[in-house]
């Protein structure tokens, strides 16, 4: 299974709730996703007229496509149920809440995007995360050297 992850999102945000959505893509974009030519790092979701769009997701042009490839950074519509969208709209309008993509993957022949309702971390939370990661790495090294 091909999965493109947004690792920076887990560092910058506290993930509250996850949702699985579909995404509207052009045929050559699907081939690019299958090849793994996707960058989710700076992407985010926004709501416009009760529809959710994925912005700044770079899907590189497929090399063997037509001479008129789609724009790499265009806004792509996410496919969700209306009641889920309404719930996300209410939460995302509160201060400090965001809707961010976590990963893009194939489910059968369909491309799915896992988005999350997230709250931004403060600088001191990020420092704490780095500290915990370093301590865990040191413990694993000591255990490996002990054996």
Q: Which residue, chain included where needed, has tokens 């959710």?
A: 52
Pairwise pLDDT comparison (146 vs 19), residue with the higher score: 19
Task: Output the pLDDT for position 134.
Answer: 93
Q: Which domains, ranges and CATH numbers included, belong to the chain?
A: 3-121 (2.40.280.10)
Distances (CA, A) of 75 to 45, 70, 95: 9, 11, 23
The model's pLDDT over 61-115, given as tens digits with 9 standing for 90+, comes to 887 777 777 888 889 999 999 998 888 888 878 788 889 999 999 988 899 999 9
| Angle at 61 (CA atoms; ends 20, 58), nearest 5 degrees | 45
The model's pLDDT over 125-146, given as tens digits with 9 standing for 90+, comes to 888 888 999 999 999 999 988 8
In 3D, which of 6, 17, 9, 5 has the Cα closest to residue 129?
9
> Quick count: other Cβ atoms within 10 Å of Cβ 131?
10
Task: Output the pLDDT for position 124.
Answer: 81
Confidence of residue 22 (pLDDT cuts 50, 70, 90): very high
Task: Output the pLDDT for position 116.
Answer: 92
The model's pLDDT over 27-66, given as tens digits with 9 standing for 90+, comes to 888 888 888 888 888 898 988 888 999 999 888 888 777 7
Sign of the Cα pseudo-torsion (79, 37, 11, 142, in order): positive
Task: Output the pLDDT for position 1.
Answer: 59
Sheet with 110-120, strands from edge to edge, namely: 3-5, 97-107, 110-120, 13-23, 76-79, 51-55, 44-48
Task: Output the pLDDT for position 79.
Answer: 93
């Amino acid at each position: 299974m091909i999965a493109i992850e947004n690792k920076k999102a887990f560092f910058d945000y506290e993930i509250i709730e996850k949702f699985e959505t579909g995404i509207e893509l052009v045929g050559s974009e699907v081939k690019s996703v299958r090849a793994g030519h996707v960058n989710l790092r700076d992407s985010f979701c926004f709501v416009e007229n009760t529809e959710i769009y994925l912005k700044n997701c770079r899907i590189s042009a497929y090399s063997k496509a037509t001479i008129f490839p789609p724009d790499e950074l265009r806004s792509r519509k996410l496919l969700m149920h209306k009641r889920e969208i309404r719930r996300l709209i209410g939460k995302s309008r509160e201060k400090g809440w965001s809707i961010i993509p976590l990963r893009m993957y194939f489910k059968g022949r369909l491309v799915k995007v896992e988005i999350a309702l997230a709250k931004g971390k403060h600088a001191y939370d990020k420092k704490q995360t780095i500290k915990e990661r370093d301590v865990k790495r040191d413990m694993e090294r000591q255990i490996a050297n002990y054996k």
